[in-house]
Amino acid sequence: MSIDRAVMVFAGTMVLVSVLLTAFVSQYFVWFTVFIGLNLIQSAFTRLCPAAWVFKALRFKSGNVF
């Protein structure tokens, strides 16, 4: 699996987890969802993504973006 796909899977999983936490634990977890969205927007413009750095350190294959 490439870093690009791993980042997409990770981001999607985090969004789903944050929505579940918001629905079943506390409304304040909506800020976690906001953080994920802002990080996705920021990485689209800058190509800097902390998750990609982690996957690169774990020796995932390079992708087209990261």
61 has which bridge partners?
2
Domain count, the chain: 1
- Residue 64 forms part of a structural domain: no
- Pick left, alpha or beta for residue 48 (phi over 0 → left; psi -120 to 50 → alpha; otherwise beta): beta
- Residue 63 forms part of a structural domain: no
- Residue 10 forms part of a structural domain: yes
pTM of the model: 0.86
- Residue 62 forms part of a structural domain: no
The pLDDT of residue 66 is: 81
- Angle, vertex CA 27, rays to CA 51 and CA 20, nearest 5: 55
- Residue 49 forms part of a structural domain: yes
- Residue 65 forms part of a structural domain: no
- Residue 22 forms part of a structural domain: yes
Q: Which ranges of the chain have pLDDT less than 50?
A: none
Domain limits for position 35: 3-57
